[in-house]
A and B are shown apart, each in its own frame.
Chain A
């Protein structure tokens, strides 16, 4: 019995969100009195295993096979199903990444289970809290199946503690698990990742950002927000629907699929604050939200809020800023 944590590689190293999931695994392990086993997976996992070992004194398993690079849903699903059947863990945790979303539901299905995905908190029971209704509601879920409980952890929900290096003598061994995997079982052929359009706007280094969302209603209304950004000397950014509609280029998109920003001021205009947006901006030093809906989740992270019609507030704000600047 154990808590199995599947770490994910990002640019050759274990990604930060995996260490956040590690914090969740440790907390769950402590409350259920179960040891944590970390898992690295790929075609060559030596360096990742060493990185895991340096932070985690418990068991480290290297799931290694030539067919596990590049990532495919089939390869990961087959390999991890075999590992889980061999290890019989009580819990299997993942960071909630695009990659995990791609294979973990299929893995759970093979085990007759359902992934409890995108978890933001773990309570007694344990219950697993995830967000519903675009972040406007929380739901507490409980696993009632007989097999392992699979959980993925949202980015930023748990704090990745700085971990002390494990003392050499006490560390559990690193083991290698070689899954049975045939080339014919991998049905998809992934190409190399590539960047979208050349990035000419570096939102990440902007000090001030004015960001616009669905509340703007029409592309024709954008100049009003651009004018506010100009008055402030801010970069203009947007939530996904604005870029989906082609009203602003994709490179101005803030959120999980766009850029992550942490400016001194993030002024959100007509943005409700779905989690996919919040993860890209909640580290901002000061967040101001203008929205007509007082229940919009953006107000959960805002320092200042104006509940009102943006078509009144934004022009008034632009004028007031211009006056203050004179």
Chain B
């Protein structure tokens, strides 16, 4: 099985939110692999362990995304494609998906996996758009992927529905899936993995060379800090003082004690 996993580098959780123009101040930020994409990579690595084949990762992003690509290689991906793109923010979801599709198309993979959404923009669309651009059947919020028997090129996936419901879906390969978190346990990169990653192939493609075309149709105009929906009463002091103040509130105002 040949599997391509699309991964994204995103700001780490709890990153400070200092607004600078149409985005937050990047100098403040540390970056990490988008966690849903880490689950997609994990699913791909486990499928390779079961059925053999190859796992390649692809990422669109500036130079710094190289660190996240190395992390994926250290976890066990065989090789990588880095679509170097310094103007990611100027592209809409379709624009980014076009770059990914242009890089994936010549690879002819059996499966294209990605996380269900990114932790920064949270669009939750890239995997589906890539599927559409590549003409592949797709499914979203997948927790588990298995090959069905009989030598046919078919898979059965477990899809999460809302409110604790699930369903199985069967489809032919090649296919594209967006992976929900929690289907597997994430692995850590081993020291050996980190060492090996240094010798693995990372092919770089310039976004401009991919000729992926198309002007954006949606534009982010402005960002702002959200307004509070409620006025939160912050209880100050040491842990002990704040706890005592909270007990008073629970007793006399919320009346649950």
Listed residue (A116, A146, A282) with the most chain B CB atoms within 10 angstroms of its CB: A116
Q: Any chain B CB within 8 A of the CB of A139?
A: yes
Give Cα distance in the complex from A153 to B215, angstroms: 25
Binary CB contact string for chain B from 131 to 162 against chain A (1 if under 8 A, 0 otherwise)? 11100011111000000000000000001111
A6 nearest CB across to chain B (Å): 16
Q: Is the CB of B121 within 8 A of A317?
A: no
Q: Any chain A CB within 8 A of the CB of B216?
A: yes
Q: Any chain A CB within 8 A of the CB of B192?
A: no
> Known contacts being A141-B221, A196-B164, A264-B256, is A109 close to B132, with CB within 8 Å?
yes
Determine the main DSSP class of A at the interface with B: mixed
Binary CB contact string for chain A from 181 to 225 against chain B (1 if under 8 A, 0 otherwise)? 000000111111111100100000001100000100000000000
Binary CB contact string for chain A from 26 to 70 against chain B (1 if under 8 A, 0 otherwise)? 000000000000000000000000000000000000000000000
Q: Is the CB of A131 within 8 A of B226?
A: yes
Q: Is the CB of A265 within 8 A of B243?
A: no
> Known contacts being A132-B223, A142-B218, A145-B217, is A102 close to B128, with CB within 8 Å?
yes
Which residue of B has the minimal Cβ distance to A233? Answer: B256
Q: Which residues in chain A, 110-157, are within 8 Å of chain B measured between CB atoms?
A: 110, 112-118, 127, 130-147
Q: Any chain B CB within 8 A of the CB of A173?
A: no
Which residue of A has the minimal Cβ distance to B214? Answer: A112
Q: Is the CB of B139 within 8 A of A117?
A: no
Q: Is the CB of A305 within 8 A of B233?
A: yes
Question: Cβ of A132: which chain B residues have Cβ within 8 Å of it?
Answer: 120-122, 223
B226 nearest CB across to chain A (Å): 5
Contact residue range for chain B?
35 or more
B182 nearest CB across to chain A (Å): 3
Question: Which among A194, A208, A240, A324 is the interface contact of B166 at CB below 8 angstroms?
Answer: A194
Give Cα distance in the complex from A134 to B171, angstroms: 32
Give Cα distance in the complex from A295 to B238, angstroms: 19
Q: Is the CB of A105 within 8 A of B221?
A: no
Q: Any chain B CB within 8 A of the CB of A171?
A: no
Q: Any chain A CB within 8 A of the CB of B90?
A: no
Give Cα distance in the complex from A114 to B93, angstroms: 7
Question: Which among A138, A251, A259, A309 is the interface contact of B223 at CB below 8 angstroms?
Answer: A138
Q: Is the CB of A188 within 8 A of B228?
A: no
Q: Is the CB of A137 within 8 A of B223?
A: yes
Give Cα distance in the complex from A316 to B227, angstroms: 31
Question: Cβ of A301: which chain B residues have Cβ within 8 Å of it?
Answer: 229-230
A21 nearest CB across to chain B (Å): 15
Q: Is the CB of B124 within 8 A of A317?
A: no
Give Cα distance in the complex from A314 to B214, angstroms: 53
Give Cα distance in the complex from A251 to B164, angstroms: 8
Q: Which residues in chain B, 195-235, are within 8 Å of chain A measured between CB atoms?
A: 214, 216-230, 232-235
Q: Is the CB of A105 within 8 A of B129?
A: yes
Listed residue (B141, B172, B223) with the most chain A CB atoms within 10 angstroms of its CB: B223
7 pairs of A and B residues whose beta carbons are closest in the complex: A145-B217, A244-B182, A312-B239, A187-B137, A316-B243, A105-B125, A317-B243
- The 17 sampled A-B contact pairs (Cβ below 8 Å) are A102-B128, A108-B94, A108-B129, A138-B223, A138-B226, A140-B222, A144-B216, A195-B164, A208-B256, A241-B181, A289-B232, A295-B16, A302-B232, A307-B234, A308-B242, A320-B240, A323-B247
Q: A130-B122, A133-B17 are in contact. List 16 more A-B contacts (CB 8 A).
A: A106-B129, A108-B129, A109-B129, A114-B94, A114-B125, A114-B217, A132-B223, A141-B221, A189-B170, A244-B181, A244-B182, A246-B185, A282-B229, A286-B256, A312-B240, A316-B239
A residues with CB within 8 A of B: 73-74, 97-98, 101-103, 105-106, 108-110, 112-118, 127, 130-147, 187-196, 199, 207-208, 214, 232, 240-241, 243-246, 250-251, 256-260, 264-265, 272, 275, 282, 285-289, 293, 295-297, 299-309, 312-313, 316-317, 319-321, 323-325
B residues with CB within 8 A of A: 11, 13-17, 19, 24, 92-94, 97, 119-125, 128-129, 131-133, 137-141, 159-172, 180-182, 185, 214, 216-230, 232-235, 238-240, 242-244, 246-247, 249-251, 254, 256-257
